[in-house]
Structure 1
Amino acid sequence: MLLMWIVVISNLLDLGLGLNGIWYRLPTRAIYLLNTVYLITRQFIIVGYAGYIVLCTDSGKLVSKEWKIVCAITNLYGFFLIFGNIKFHWLFLTDVQGNYVRGQQIWLYYIFAICYIVFAIWHLIRYGHALDWSRKIALLVFVMIPALGAFLQYAFPGFNIESFTLTIGMLWVYLNVPKTNRMLDSDTSALNQYAFSCKMESLTGQKVKGHLVVIRFRDKSAIQDRYGLESYKKLMREVTYELCSLQGRDRVYYLRDARFAVILDGADTDKAYDIAKNLMNKVQKQWKIYGNEITVWGVGAFLSIPDDVRNINDIYSYLAYLEIMPSLHGGSMYEGGHLDVAYMKRYGEIERAIERALQKTSFEVYYQPIYGVKEQKIIAAEALLRMYDEEMGFISPEEFIPIAEKNGKIIEIGQMVLESVCRFLQKEDITKYGLHYIEVNLSVIECMQDILPEEIKKTLEKYEIDPQLLNLEITETALAQSKAILADNMRKISEMGVSFSLDDYGTGYSTITYMMTLPFRIVKIDKSILWSSFENERAMIALCASINMIKEMNMEIVVEGVESREMAQKLTQLGCDYLQGYYFSKPLPVNKFIECISKNPIFLFDKE
Structure 2
Amino acid sequence: MFQWLSQYNYDFALAAIPIQLLLLIFYCSRRNLPIRASYSFLWVMLANLAMTAFDLISCEMNEIWTEYPLWLMYVVNQGYFLGFILRGWALYDYTAEECHGYASLGKYLATLANVPAAVAVLLILSTPWTATIFHFTPDKGYYNCHLYPIIYFCTYFYIAMSLLCVFLRWKQTDFRLKMSMLGYNAVLIAGILLRKAFINTLVTSYFSILAILVIYLSAQNPDLYRDRATHLFNKDAFDKIGREFRRKRTAFHCITVTADNYASAKVLYGYQQIENAIGLIGRWMIDSFRDYYVFYYGHGEFLMLQKGKFEDHREQIIHELNTRFAHPWKGEGTEVSLSMSSMVLPYEILPEEMEQIDDLVEFAFGKTYMENKKGNKVFSKDIVTDLYRREAVEMALAKALEDRRIEVYLQPIYSMEEHRIIGAEALARLKDPELGFIPPDEFVRVAERTGDIMELGRQVFERVCEFLATGQPQRLGIRKINVNLSPAQCRNDQLAAELSAISDRHGVPLSLIDFEITETSIEDYLLIQKQMLRLQEKGAEFSLDDFGTGTSNLIRLLNLPIHIVKLDMYIVQSYFSGKTGILPDMVRMFHNAHVGVVAEGIETAEMKEELAGIGCDYQQGYYYSRPVPPEEFIAYLETVQLS
Same fold (TM over 0.5): yes
1:396: how far off? Answer: 2.4
Which among 304, 307, 317 is matched to residue 360 of structure 2?
A: 317
Is 2:625 aligned against 1:581?
yes
Q: Which amino acid aligns with 2:559?
A: K
2:273 to 212, 217, 231: 231
Residue 165 of structure 1 and its aligned partner are, at CA, apart by: 6.3
Residue 492 of structure 1 pairs with residue 559 of structure 2: yes
Alignment match of 2:545 (pick from 462, 473, 479) = 473
Q: Report if aligned partners of 1:211, 1:269 keep a CA contact under 8 Å in 2.
A: yes
Contact 1:308 1:336 in 2 (8 A): no
Superposition pairs of residues 554-593 of structure 1, within 5 angstroms: 554-556=615-617, 558=619, 560-562=621-623, 580-582=624-626, 586-589=627-630
Deviation at 1:222, TM superposition (A): 0.6
SS in 2 for 1:189: coil
- Name 2:244's counterpart in structure 1: 202
CA contact (8 A) 1:10 1:38 kept: yes
* Matching residue of 2:325: 284
Corresponding residue for residue 78 of structure 2: 39
From 566, 583, 586, the counterpart of 1:501:
566
Q: Whole-Å Cα distance in 1 between the matches of residues 313 and 87 of structure 2?
A: 33
Question: Do the aligned residues in 1 keep the contact of 2:423 with 2:479 (CA within 8 Å)?
Answer: yes
Q: CA deviation at 1:341?
A: 1.7
Alignment: residue pair count: 533
Report whether the alignment pairs 1:241 with 2:283.
yes
In 1: Cα distance, 2:583 partner to 2:531 partner:
22
Kindly state the Cα deviation for residue 560 of structure 1 after the two structures are TM-superposed: 1.6
2:558 maps to amino acid: R
Offset of residue 581 of structure 1? 0.3
CA distances 1:227-274 after superposition (whole Å, capped 9, x unpaired)? 112222222222221222234598222222222222213x35314635
Contact 1:50-1:117 at 8 Å conserved across structures: yes
Partner residue in 1 for 2:344 = 301
Distance change >3 Å, CA 370–CA 549, structure 1 → 2: closer
RMSD over aligned Cα atoms: 5.6
Shift of 1:288: 2.2
Shift of 1:201: 1.9
- Closer, same or farther: CA 54–506 of 1 in aligned 2, 3 Å: farther
Paired AA for residue 176 in structure 1: I
In the alignment, is the contact (CA less than 8 A) between 1:183 and 1:194 conserved in 2? Answer: yes
Greater radius of gyration (CA) = 1
Q: Counterpart of 2:302?
A: 260
Of 590, 599, 606, the residue aligned with 1:519 is: 590
Question: 2:423 touches 2:478 (CA, 8 Å); kept in 1?
Answer: yes
Mapped to 2, the partners of 1:360 and 1:412 lie a distance apart of 12
| Shift, 1:276, TM fit | 4.6
The answer as to 2:523 corresponding to 1:458 is no
- 2:260 matched residue in structure 1: 218
Contact 1:371 1:380 in 2 (8 A): yes
For 1:416 and 1:219, the matched residues in 2 are separated by 37
CA contact (8 A) 1:377 1:600 kept: no
Distance in 1 (CA, whole Å) between partners of 2:618 and 2:177 is 66
Contact 1:471 1:498 in 2 (8 A): yes
Instruction: Please report the TM-score for the alignment, with normalisation by the length of structure 1.
Output: 0.67
Query: Does structure 2 conserve the Cα–Cα contact (< 8 Å) formed by 1:91 and 1:102?
Result: yes
CA drift of 1:218 comes to 1.5
- Give the letter aligned to residue 8 of structure 1: T
Aligned to 2:44: none
Unaligned stretches of 5+ residues in structure 2: 1-19, 22-46, 104-113, 484-515
Q: Which residue of 2 aligns with 1:336?
A: 379
Provide the rounded CA distance (Å) in 2 between the counterparts of 1:287 and 1:445: 33
Q: Paired residue for 1:553?
A: 614
Aligned-pair distance for 1:133? 8.4
Residues 176-232 of structure 1: CA deviation (Å, up to 9, x unaligned): 232333222233222222222122222222332222223332122111111112222
Give a deviation string over 1:311-331, Cα, whole Å, max 9, x none.
Answer: 232332343244157632269
Q: Structure 2 vs 1, CA of residues 428 and 229 (structure 1 numbering), >3 Å: closer, same or farther?
A: farther
Alpha-carbon distance in structure 1 between the residues aligned to 2:518 and 2:137: 91
Shift in CA distance, 522/139, structure 1 to aligned 2, threshold 3 Å: closer
CA contact (8 A) 2:185 2:211 kept: no
Question: What letter matches 2:343 in structure 1?
Answer: G
- Preserved CA contact (<8 Å) 1:193 1:254: yes
Tell me by how many angstroms 1:454 deviates. 1.0
Cα distance in 1 for partners of 2:434, 2:452 equals 20
Amino acid at match of 1:33: L
User: 1:395 corresponds to which residue?
Assistant: 438
- Offset from partner CA, 1:109-143 (integer Å, 9 cap, x none): 99xx99x989x98xx89x99986588589779989
Q: Quote the offset at 1:400 in angstroms.
A: 2.2
Q: Which amino acid aligns with 1:284?
A: F
Residue 536 of structure 1 is matched in structure 2 by none
CA distance in 1, matches of 2:330, 2:437: 50
Q: CA deviation at 1:556?
A: 3.3
Q: Quick one: distance in 2 between partners of 1:332 and 1:160?
A: 73
The structural deviation recorded for 1:304 is 0.7
Match of 1:65 in 2: none
1:190 aligns with 2:265: no
Say whether the 8 Å CA contact 2:239–2:354 is kept in structure 1: no
Superimposed CA distance per residue, residues 400-452 of structure 1 (whole angstroms, 9 cap, x where no aligned partner)? 23455678976996798679869988997976653344444544533666458
Match of 2:211 in 1: 172
Q: How does 1:19-30 map to 2 (within 5 A)?
A: 23=62, 25-29=64-68
Contact 1:28–1:94 under 8 Å retained in 2: no
Q: 1:471 to 1:139 in 2, by over 3 A?
A: closer
Alpha-carbon separation, structure 2, partners of 1:418 and 1:515: 34
Code of the aligned partner of 1:446: S
User: Aligned partners of 2:343, 2:283: CA distance in 1, in Å?
Assistant: 18
Q: Tell me, in whole angstroms, the C-alpha distance in 2 between the residues paired with 1:513 and 1:353.
A: 42
Separation in 2, partners of 1:53, 1:26: 34
Cα contact 1:209–1:306 (8 A) shared by 2: no
Question: Which residue of 2 is the match for residue 346 of structure 1?
Answer: 389
SS of residue in 2 equivalent to 1:335? coil
Q: 1:239 to 1:373 in 2, by over 3 A?
A: closer
Q: Aligned partners of 1:416, 1:446: CA distance in 2, in Å?
A: 20
What's the offset of the Cα at 1:89? 8.6
- Equivalent residue letter for 1:502: L
1:8: which partner in 2?
52
List aligned pairs for 1:382-421, cutoff 5 A: 382-387=425-430, 395-403=438-446
Query: Which one-letter code corresponds to 1:378 in the other structure?
Result: I
